[in-house]
């Protein structure tokens, strides 16, 4: 490995690591509205990274073939085999580097600084938290979250920010529960959202359907943490905030189609969908018919 001074990869907001990988990412969320997490996909030839140091947590997932890798942390080497779907929790505030012997297809999930601390207070009773570095381990939920975020980014789907924040919070809680140096405490949920808070949130969603809504702002309206809000909202109405948002956008689309005078593309934009194909997909999924069939019925 290089004997040069380790590079500092520091940011209050998760971002890509252009100095670590020479190749540009094949897919990136940096230009999206995601606020709690960023995703980058890389396809890299056999090679190595320089030595670097992170100030935020990064979870990487091998999306390609089996390969051998060498992980160097604070000058201590570890050889591992990466199978498809295996993950890495990268060390934080420690100098480390990687070397691999075959083409590497990897998803890099960069967690926003403070995301873990937000949930650590509720799960662990403390804000300061440390994840234990792990190399080449299998975790089905981490893999599925990576796939879901990748698919969402590729689809450029309406509601992407709310969906991505929900997945980021799920990932953070999972990491704290299973990979933290502290044991988590049991959290009890006392029923769903109170009716007055539920009404405030649902009214807000319906008033701003055409906007990109975030989990943070919805939880703030309910005056709850994002973690408790998601559970309480679903317990109250049987849908996650993201599912409810999409459902209400489809309902708004049905109203506009009945009124007439608007193109399908205009209806899609007015309801908060990024374009007509997104309206078409969610409309058919929830109603069983396409918007055009509904319009002509």
Residue 16 has pLDDT above 60, yes or no: no
Q: The domain 7-167: what is its CATH number? A: 2.60.120.10
Q: Rounded CA gap, 125 and 122, in Å?
A: 6
Residue 103 has pLDDT above 90, yes or no: yes
Q: Rounded CA gap, 43 and 63, in Å?
A: 9
Tell me, what's the pLDDT at 127?
A: 67
pLDDT, averaged across the chain:
84
Q: Does CATH number 1.10.10.60 belong to domain 188-297? A: yes
Among 4-13, 89-98, 125-134, the range with the most confident prediction by mean pLDDT is: 89-98
The DSSP 8-state label assigned to residue 13 in this structure reads: S
Could you tell me how many residues make up the chain?
297
Strand partners, 39: 109
Split at pLDDT 50, 70, 90, the class of 19 is: low
CB 150 within 8 A of CB 97: no
Tell me, what's the pLDDT at 2?
A: 39
Q: Rounded CA gap, 251 and 186, in Å?
A: 38
Residue pLDDT, tens place only, 236-290 = 888 889 989 999 999 999 999 989 889 999 999 999 998 899 899 999 999 999 9
* Token digits of residue 97: 């580097």
Q: Where in the chain is the domain with CATH 1.10.10.60?
A: 188-297
Q: Among 268, 266, 271, which Cα is nearest to 249's?
A: 271
Residue pLDDT, tens place only, 153-189 = 888 665 578 889 999 999 998 998 889 887 555 444 4
Tell me, what's the pLDDT at 145?
A: 96
* Token digits of residue 164: 């991505």
Share of the chain above pLDDT 70, in %: 88
Question: Could you tell me the pTM of the whole model?
Answer: 0.69
Tell me, what's the pLDDT at 192?
A: 72
* Token digits of residue 231: 């559970």
Tell me, what's the pLDDT at 23?
A: 86
Q: Rounded CA gap, 67 and 84, in Å?
A: 9
**b/e map 170-208, b = 16+ CB within 10 Å:** bbbbebbeebbeeebeeeeeeebbeeebbebbbeebeee
Q: Where in the chain is the domain with CATH 2.60.120.10?
A: 7-167
């Amino acid at each position: 490995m290089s004997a040069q001074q380790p590079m500092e990869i520091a940011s209050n907001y998760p971002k890509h690591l252009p100095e670590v990988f020479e190749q540009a990412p094949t897919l990136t969320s940096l230009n999206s509205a995601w606020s709690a997490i960023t995703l980058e996909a890389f396809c890299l030839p056999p090679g190595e990274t320089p030595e670097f140091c992170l100030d935020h947590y990064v979870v990487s997932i091998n999306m390609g073939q089996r390969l051998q890798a060498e992980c160097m942390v604070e000058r201590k080497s570890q050889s591992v085999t990466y199978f498809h779907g295996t993950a890495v929790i990268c060390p934080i505030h420690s100098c480390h580097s990687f070397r691999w012997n075959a083409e590497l297809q990897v998803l890099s999930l960069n967690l926003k600084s403070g995301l873990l601390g937000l949930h650590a207070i509720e799960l662990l009773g403390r804000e300061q938290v440390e994840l234990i570095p792990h190399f080449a381990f299998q975790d089905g939920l981490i893999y599925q979250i990576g796939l879901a975020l990748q698919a969402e980014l590729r689809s450029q789907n309406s509601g992407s920010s709310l969906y991505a924040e929900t997945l980021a919070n799920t990932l953070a809680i999972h990491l704290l529960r299973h990979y933290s140096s502290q044991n988590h405490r049991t959290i009890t949920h006392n029923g769903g959202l109170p009716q007055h808070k539920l009404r405030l949130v649902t009214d807000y969603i319906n008033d701003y359907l055409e906007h990109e809504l975030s989990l943070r702002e919805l939880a703030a309206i309910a005056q709850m943490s994002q973690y408790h809000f998601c559970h309480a909202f679903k317990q109250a109405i049987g849908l996650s905030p993201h599912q409810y948002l999409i459902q209400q956008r489809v309902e708004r689309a049905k109203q506009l189609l009945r009124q007439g005078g608007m193109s399908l593309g205009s209806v899609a934009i007015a309801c908060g969908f990024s374009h007509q194909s997104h309206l078409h997909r969610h409309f058919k999924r929830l109603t069983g018919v396409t918007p055009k069939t509904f319009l002509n019925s």
